[in-house]
Amino acid sequence: MDERTTDAIEIPDRYRYAVIPHIMVDDAAAAIDFYQRAFGAREDVRIDAPGGGGVMHAEITVGRSVLMLGDAGAAEADTDAEAGPSSFTAPSSLGGGTSVMLHVFVPDVDSLAKRAQAAGAEILQPPTDMFHGDRTVILKDPSGHTWVFLTHLEDVPEDELRRRLATAG
């Protein structure tokens, strides 16, 4: 691996300060439509799989955050035949669970929660002022991914954060 420092020019602006989540779903076109209706997402890139096999790769923006996604089955088209089958899976193939939560800061978590629920999201925790200084809603999208949307309310010093956490539970 090259030991030199990565020059900012080598990294597109939209990816410069983040780890970009890349989720797999069973119906990427439907997921993109949901994210647009529920979260106000903007579709930036869509590459359909050859032969109409779904969406191989797409990118959307939710707030200021970029998310990559694609159809789990369409990823097979991007697999090297010698390397064997793809390891891309959607939550449905994992029994409906996921090990990743997607966190996005938004200006108004309450209005986003209402819009997301109306679009078909399952609210797991309604908008709540949390000890860490953010108003937070946790929801599950129709594809099975868990999202945490937050509106920042206050900066909480570490000692106060620990005190609040101790008294919260």
Q: How far is CA 166 from CA 12, 157, 162, in A?
A: 42, 14, 6
> What is Dmax (Cα atoms) for the chain?
57
CA distance 159 to 165: 10
pTM above 0.95? no
pLDDT along the chain (169 residues), means of 10: 48 69 93 98 94 91 92 62 56 74 92 98 97 94 94 92 86
Domains, the chain, ordered by start: 8-168 (3.10.180.10)
H-state helical runs in 74-132 = 109-119
Q: How far is CA 168 from CA 44, 79, 98, in A?
A: 41, 48, 26
pLDDT tens, 92-124? 777 777 768 899 998 999 999 999 999 999 999
Using a 10 angstrom Cβ sphere, with 0-12 exposed, 13-18 middle and 19 or more buried, the burial of residue 30 is middle
